[in-house]
Each structure stands twice: as C-alpha cells, then as structure tokens.
Structure 1
Amino acid sequence: MKVLEEKEIQYKKIDIFKDRLSLENINEILLYVDINDIFSWSSPSAKPYRTKKSTIKESELISLILSEPKLIRRPILLIENKVVIGFKQGYYDFIN
C-alpha cells in the first residue's frame, strides 16, 4: 500500500490467506458495496460459478468467499466510510 505510506496514513494489513475474513468482516464490507463488487469473477477459482452469475444468491457467494479467499477481489480498503476495491491509478486520491 505504497500510496498510504506516501501519505503517511496508518493502516492495518490483513493477509486473508493466513487470517481469513469472518462473516462479520464480509458483512461490514457489504454495508458499502454489493457482493458482486468484492467477488472476483475473473479468478480461475470462480470459473465454475460464472454461468450462474445472474442467479446465484448473495448468501452462496458469501459462503464461497469464506471458504476460498482467492474469490475476494483485493486489495479492499475501508477508510472514511468508503470502500475501495482493487487497485488502479487514482483510486486513493480521495485520501488526505
């Protein structure tokens, strides 16, 4: 998170492969974004579910994310009541 370090903003990094997200963590993120925003449909692990994308239930996607962290788009940044998912140049410009 080079951008945060350059702006001298403290953050907590969570290795979701070592310390898996809890249902509570997922639900907190979902207060700000839709499940499809954090589900990594482009991940090779998501291939079996792509044909069901329009019909799969949110609860199923949450269960999949909890069991397979590769299905989470990352990084996910929660700051100032905003959620930023993934990284593209300029995504973090709103941070002072």
Structure 2
Amino acid sequence: MKKSTLCLLILVLSIGFFPNTMLAASGNLSTTPVTEPVEVPAHVQVQLDRLNEIKAMDKSDMSSTEKKALRKEVKVIKSSLRSSNSGIYLSVGAIIIIVLLLILLL
C-alpha cells in the first residue's frame, strides 16, 4: 500500500512540473518591455571618450615615459569611473554567509 501511494505521489508531482516547463518554452518573447538606454552623465562621457582616444593612439613611436604617463592616466580614469558608480557589491563569501545565516535563523 505504501509503495503505491508513493508512486502515485511521484506521478502527480511529475505531471505538475511538465506544464510549467512547456509554458516557459513557448513564451512570447515580443511581449517583453524594451528598456530605454540609460543617460550617461557628461563627466563620465568625457572620461570614456578620453579612454577611447588613448586606446586609438599609435603608441609605437612614443617614448617609455609618455607610455607610462598614459598608463597612469588610464588607471586614474578607470578608478574614478569605478568609484562614481553607486551600488552595493557583495563578494561570494559574503553571500554564502548571508544565506547560511538566513537558513539558521529561519
């Protein structure tokens, strides 16, 4: 009796999962909303333009001191672009600890 109940339970649960996967596969992709491009602030755009100029430069005829100055400038621009982003960054270890704490507390 227990074996037939277990088989029936597995059958009902497996039938319940199949329609969900079929609906997900046949979803209409044209109904997804199109997001508008995000406006880039002027000072950020100036820095990005400067990075593109440096990238496009022909550095073969430059001296080593000029190349070194360009590398420093690129590092400064990239660090200022990273610091201008406002957001919360979590490492993988922090996420694992948060999940473990949630599991233990709940």
TM-score for the superposition, normalised by structure 1: 0.24
Q: Specify which structure has the higher proportion of helix.
A: 2
Q: Specify which structure has the higher proportion of strand.
A: 1
Larger Rg computed on CA atoms: 2
Higher RCO (Cα < 8 Å, 6 or more apart)? 1
